[in-house]
Structure 1
Amino acid sequence: MSPSQPSPAAALARRLLGFSTLPFLASVLPLVALPFMSRAASTDDWSALNIGLGVGTFAGAIGLVGWNILGTPLVAMADSDTARRGLYGRSFYIRSAVVLLASILSAVVASLISPASSWPVAAAFAVAGALNGIGLSWYAVGVSSPRIALWYEVVPRAAATAAAIGVVVLTQDVLWYGILLSLSIIIGTVAFHRRVLGRFWPAWPGMLRLRSDIGDMKAAWGVESIGSLYQNAPVPVAGLIAAPVEVAAYASSDRIYRYGTLGVAAAGNALQGWVLETTDVRSRRSRNLAAFAVMAVIAAIGWVVLAVFGPFLSGLLFGADKQGDPAAFHFLGIAFISVTMATPLIRNILIPARRDGFVLAVNMVSAIVGVALMVVLGSWLGTTGVAIGFAVSETATLIGCVFLATRVGLAPQQRGSSTDRKKER
């Protein structure tokens, strides 16, 4: 190894710091304001805010149309900047159409589930969550450019967060935060188009090309959407079966859990780029093992934070009247371990090997079982039952992915899109 080349450990550390920190900040910045929001909000508004975020985050996953999972390796494997920007442009038009519809539907659903007096808050945060479907982090990871995440996601959301804290503290109306958050996402996306692509909107790729992409993304889209369904179902389910006071407490537990999963997603994105950038079989296997080790450490830390310190942290951040239940935190800790360890299996092994159809099947079974248990156990045990059902769904996903990965191996042959494979024939 030459003196100018970093060691593998140093390269991994740099990747984690550079390509996970900024996307993580882009996601976590809006949550910085939540302690201020919880103290300004009534119990009904706090419940509505979190129900809106839960429904909206699910809508945002639908709006990504699979690009957050399959798009990153496709962009990473593209052979030119023109091809990469073409992929982004195609994704933008597909995602924008779906995000528009998802935003409307999520606002309606969140409003119906939330306390009647707080439906505008639920609708605003549902739209803000749905707009994440036009986010840029997946593309920034694919092109190995943390600057994209910094300037077009972190900076706009930081400005919106700072403004929201001031406005909400003055007005005691958390609705403004949802509105400002939505504006920051739109402004950041348009600014990226103008500065990086040189135009306000990407070049139109043609309807035939878009239809082909949708067909190619179907399985990855299903994986993203169904996985997000049971991941974001707990708070809306709690809103259906529990009183606002109980929902508010569970929402605080869920927010602490979401803080942790943002780190999991950011680390998963960074490790995906690092693992997939090598085509050597031995190196790919070694990097996959290193990725599992990193994620295992994150899983252990997350479990301790949730199961041991979770109730204290929720009370400290969101107020003693909204403190989460210790039993719910215990099962959220189990769910955290499962989602953390499933992430490298899905992103680094199964999806690049184009086993997205099998992953979709696993997610469908987990979603059906998990959501059913959330409703049944929630009706019996309250919000603790919702947490148990959630933990079961995440654990079932992990078990299914482990089974699939043992059949694929640690260094599977990486395959491109269905369109590319047709050309090869």
Structure 2
Amino acid sequence: MFAATVILWNWNISGPVEIARSSDQHQRASIYAKSLRTRIVIAAAVFPLMTLLVWLIAHEGFRIDAVTMAWATALTGFSPAWYGIGAGNPRILAIYDTVPRFLAAVISAPLIVASGQVWLYGVISLLTTTGSLMAFQRRFGEAGSWLPRNPLAVVREIVPSTGVAAISFSGSAYASSPVPIATATVPSANATAGFSSADNIYRLGLFSIVAVGNTFQGWTLEPGASNPRRRHLTAVCAHLLLGALGAGFLTALGPWVSGLIFGDALRADTLTSFYYGLSFFFLSSSTPLIRNILIPERRQRTVLIWTGVSAVCGIVLMVAAGLSGNVPGIALGMAVSEAVLLLGLMMPALALLPAKARTAKREG
């Protein structure tokens, strides 16, 4: 998954912005071709390293399974889902991203049951994903733009987007840190069992933030919108409402749902669920500020700085809580981190809204 994040580079953040701001199909094809060139160059470096690491880490007898699964997962870094988000076209996500994965599961399941060979899923997933990418290229891409003709020129295209990519990397790495920190700092495995369950429920809920963010991003950045300020505020309010509902759900039903899914022995406690609910609220609230306002206005440095500050604060608090045996405090550290990020980005983001409104008024 981290390899997929590296291959995707900055396109999941800046890609939808560029597509949403371009209504010309030829320009969109050029943007996609650029993304494809950069990701192919990055993948040429990432895939061999990833394969070596997986081969060394995997247990004897499972290396082929691990490598094929790693390749299939890393290949999702080439997903054109961000293009569909920017274009406001959910059919692209369904046809070229979801359907290939579904087909891979449907085709490979009976074969695995019959043969006992798990690597079949990885191979079939590689084939279905590659087929969908080829179909997308023919439909939306530029002709003859699969391979970069000048890798050095592509590297020069990659370097300016390092800041946005760093935001994606740091966010991905930090988001997965609570459970490893709890495992490393709390001696008792029983004490962290319920914590892991709460973390899993929380991560399932994050898909709703992604879905709402995808829904509003193309709409808020649509060229020629009569009142962009109102659209941005609508998106912010929607994320605030989602955050409040998610926080309430995690607090009130998190322990019951975790017990239902993972069993009573792994049931999450109410306090940990409450702190994860706070994290959900703050994360949902900051999402439209980053995706719809700051990144489109090229304020990547601001986002990166506050992401780093919040991550440092969160890790320090989580490690301190774990070393003191305060397992719910680890979730609190994550909540504080998300709150710091929201507070740090709120003023810069909201300060840009009047400028958008004045621009729209002048154009009208």
TM-score of Structure 1 vs Structure 2, range by shorter chain: 0.7 to 0.9
- The alpha carbon displacement at 1:309 in A equals 0.8
- The alpha carbon displacement at 1:317 in A equals 2.7
- Label 1:171 to 1:208 Cα distance change in 2 as closer, same or farther (>3 A): closer
Q: How does 1:230-249 map to 2 (within 5 A)?
A: 230-241=174-185, 249=194
Q: How does 1:352-363 map to 2 (within 5 A)?
A: 352-363=296-307
Counterpart code for 2:217: Q
Q: Is the 8 A contact 1:223 1:359 kept in 2?
A: yes
- Label 1:142 to 1:237 Cα distance change in 2 as closer, same or farther (>3 A): same
> Match for residue 256 of structure 1?
201
| Among 122, 132, 151, the residue aligned to 2:76 | 132
Q: Is the 8 A contact 2:41 2:151 kept in 1?
A: no
Q: How does 1:22-421 map to 2 (within 5 A)?
A: 56=1, 58-78=2-22, 80-99=24-43, 101-102=45-46, 129-162=73-106, 184-194=128-138, 196-197=140-141, 202=146, 204=148, 206-207=150-151, 209-241=153-185, 249-280=194-225, 283-381=227-325, 383-412=327-356
* Percent identity (aligned): 32
- 1:337-387 Cα offsets, whole Å, 9 max, x none, are 011010111111111111111111111111222223333322333643432
Q: Is the 8 A contact 2:30 2:142 kept in 1?
A: no
- 1:120-179 Cα offsets, whole Å, 9 max, x none, are 688777665544322221111223332221111111122234456667888999887777
Provide the C-alpha distance between the structure 1 equivalents of 2:121 and 2:307, rounded to a whole number of angstroms: 33
- Label 1:213 to 1:251 Cα distance change in 2 as closer, same or farther (>3 A): farther
Provide the C-alpha distance between the structure 2 equivalents of 1:72 and 1:134, rounded to a whole number of angstroms: 14
Identify which range, 124-133 or 260-269, moves more after superposition: 124-133
Provide the C-alpha distance between the structure 1 equivalents of 2:304 and 2:358, rounded to a whole number of angstroms: 18
Provide the C-alpha distance between the structure 1 equivalents of 2:139 and 2:223, rounded to a whole number of angstroms: 30
> Match for residue 362 of structure 2?
none
TM-score by length of 1: 0.71
Provide the C-alpha distance between the structure 1 equivalents of 2:183 and 2:117, rounded to a whole number of angstroms: 21
- The alpha carbon displacement at 1:288 in A equals 0.9
Q: Is the 8 A contact 1:190 1:200 kept in 2?
A: no
Provide the C-alpha distance between the structure 1 equivalents of 2:181 and 2:144, rounded to a whole number of angstroms: 39
Identify which range, 87-96 or 346-355, moves more after superposition: 87-96
SS at match of 2:290: helix
Counterpart code for 1:258: R
- The alpha carbon displacement at 1:251 in A equals 3.5
Counterpart code for 2:346: V
Q: Is the 8 A contact 1:193 1:200 kept in 2?
A: no
- Label 1:128 to 1:162 Cα distance change in 2 as closer, same or farther (>3 A): same
Q: Is the 8 A contact 1:379 1:385 kept in 2?
A: no
- 1:297-343 Cα offsets, whole Å, 9 max, x none, are 21122112211111222232344444334332221111100110101
- Label 1:213 to 1:249 Cα distance change in 2 as closer, same or farther (>3 A): farther
TM-score by length of 2: 0.81
- Label 1:233 to 1:178 Cα distance change in 2 as closer, same or farther (>3 A): farther
- The alpha carbon displacement at 1:186 in A equals 4.2
- The alpha carbon displacement at 1:200 in A equals 8.8
Provide the C-alpha distance between the structure 2 equivalents of 1:136 and 1:196, rounded to a whole number of angstroms: 10
- Please, which runs of 5 or more residues in structure 1 have no aligned partner? 1-55, 416-425
Provide the C-alpha distance between the structure 2 equivalents of 1:247 and 1:100, rounded to a whole number of angstroms: 39
Provide the C-alpha distance between the structure 2 equivalents of 1:175 and 1:244, rounded to a whole number of angstroms: 31
Identify which range, 247-256 or 96-105, moves more after superposition: 96-105
Q: Is the 8 A contact 1:113 1:239 kept in 2?
A: no
Q: Is the 8 A contact 2:182 2:322 kept in 1?
A: yes
SS at match of 2:219: helix
Provide the C-alpha distance between the structure 1 equivalents of 2:166 and 2:55, rounded to a whole number of angstroms: 25
Counterpart code for 1:80: D
Q: Is the 8 A contact 2:29 2:142 kept in 1?
A: no
Q: Is the 8 A contact 2:86 2:217 kept in 1?
A: no
Provide the C-alpha distance between the structure 1 equivalents of 2:71 and 2:327, rounded to a whole number of angstroms: 25
SS at match of 2:227: helix
Q: Is the 8 A contact 1:275 1:348 kept in 2?
A: yes
Q: Is the 8 A contact 1:107 1:122 kept in 2?
A: no
- Label 1:112 to 1:322 Cα distance change in 2 as closer, same or farther (>3 A): farther
Q: How many residues align?
A: 357
Q: Is the 8 A contact 1:99 1:134 kept in 2?
A: no
Counterpart code for 1:189: L
Q: Is the 8 A contact 2:40 2:147 kept in 1?
A: no
- The alpha carbon displacement at 1:277 in A equals 0.4
Tell which structure's C-alpha radius of gyration is larger: 2
SS at match of 1:308: helix
CA RMSD, Structure 1 to Structure 2 (Å): 3.7
> Match for residue 16 of structure 1?
none
Provide the C-alpha distance between the structure 1 equivalents of 2:60 and 2:184, rounded to a whole number of angstroms: 16
- Please, which runs of 5 or more residues in structure 2 have no aligned partner? 360-364
Q: Is the 8 A contact 2:72 2:123 kept in 1?
A: yes
